[in-house]
Homo-oligomer: A and B are copies of this chain.
Amino acid sequence: MRKKAGASEVHPLDAFIRRLRLHSRLADADAEAIRRLPFKLLQTRQNAQPVREGDLTSHCMILVSGYIHRFRITEGGDRQILAIYVSGDPIDLDRLYLPVADDTLQAIRESAIARIPQQSLHDLCAARPAIADAIVRAVLVDSSVFREWILNVGRRDARTRIAHLFCELAVRLKAQGLPFEHVPMPLTQDQIADATGLTSVHVNRILKALRAEGHIERSAGGLVCVPDLDKLLIVGGFDFRYLHLDG
């Protein structure tokens, strides 16, 4: 009757395995092989930058807990956030094949990261084709998300754009089995602005409007609370297809 303690306890990479299984079938043996991967747990504080554009890297990182974003800067110094990662997400798989970083990674709040030697991952992929496939699939889904961001920033007005960002976060959190009614909002208004290609001033006004309309609510700890995700999905013009969550 009692659950046995032991190997099946929570492992830092379990969330990563869950994330891969969102899009790929992995045998238990594959999952076990991932758990046996050598890694070091890295605790980063808010705003730390575990990798900067231009760095030559030797490891890949999995976000174990916390939130991290990825950004680039224009010649003029303007920042654009390109992705927001939640626990379980691999945050720089690209560096497995392109070891020179083309973006900077920054912790949104204090986070825990598993650092895995690239060589170990390559070896694992060579030994286990199902894992290699799962990794490519994860890369491709991310790629589809990048494309949706182009669409979001290029063709939607501020209100829809911001709503869409919240929707995406909520849906991805939900898919990962994380609490999603409260979207992680240690995302400052500045960061929302940088993720949507807007100004923090304008973001502020739009948030006010969305609040007035009841689409979002303030919540403890600076979280954004989504009282009715279905309604917000409509405001954000959200279509699930690009996330490839067919499961």
Q: How many copies does the complex hold?
A: 2
Chain B residues positioned under 8 Å from A139 (CB to CB): 136, 139-140, 143
Say which residue of B82, B133, B155 sits within 8 Å of A80 (CB atoms).
B155
Chain B residues positioned under 8 Å from A137 (CB to CB): 97-98
A229 CB within 8 Å of chain B:
no
Interface size class of A (residues with CB under 8 A): 35 or more
A159 CB within 8 Å of chain B:
no
Q: Is the CB of B102 within 8 A of A242?
A: yes
Given A97-B136, A126-B129, A143-B143, CB of A74 within 8 Å of CB of B156: yes
CB distance from A162 to the nearest CB of B (A): 13
Chain B residues positioned under 8 Å from A132 (CB to CB): 132
CB distance from A151 to the nearest CB of B (A): 4
Chain B residues positioned under 8 Å from A241 (CB to CB): 53-54, 100, 102
Instruction: With a 10 A CB-CB cut-off, give which of A82, A142, A242 has the most chain B CB atoms.
Output: A82
A230 CB within 8 Å of chain B:
no
Q: Is the CB of B237 within 8 A of A144?
A: no
Given A102-B144, A139-B143, CB of A153 within 8 Å of CB of B197: yes
A227 to B126, CA, bound (A): 48
A103 CB within 8 Å of chain B:
yes
Instruction: With a 10 A CB-CB cut-off, give which of A23, A142, A197, A244 has the most chain B CB atoms.
Output: A197
CB distance from A103 to the nearest CB of B (A): 7
Q: Is the CB of B98 within 8 A of A140?
A: yes
Additional 19 contacts, C-beta under 8 A, given A74-B155, A75-B237, A102-B241: A70-B147, A72-B148, A72-B151, A75-B239, A76-B237, A80-B155, A83-B147, A98-B140, A102-B144, A102-B242, A102-B244, A136-B139, A139-B139, A139-B140, A143-B143, A146-B146, A146-B150, A153-B197, A155-B197
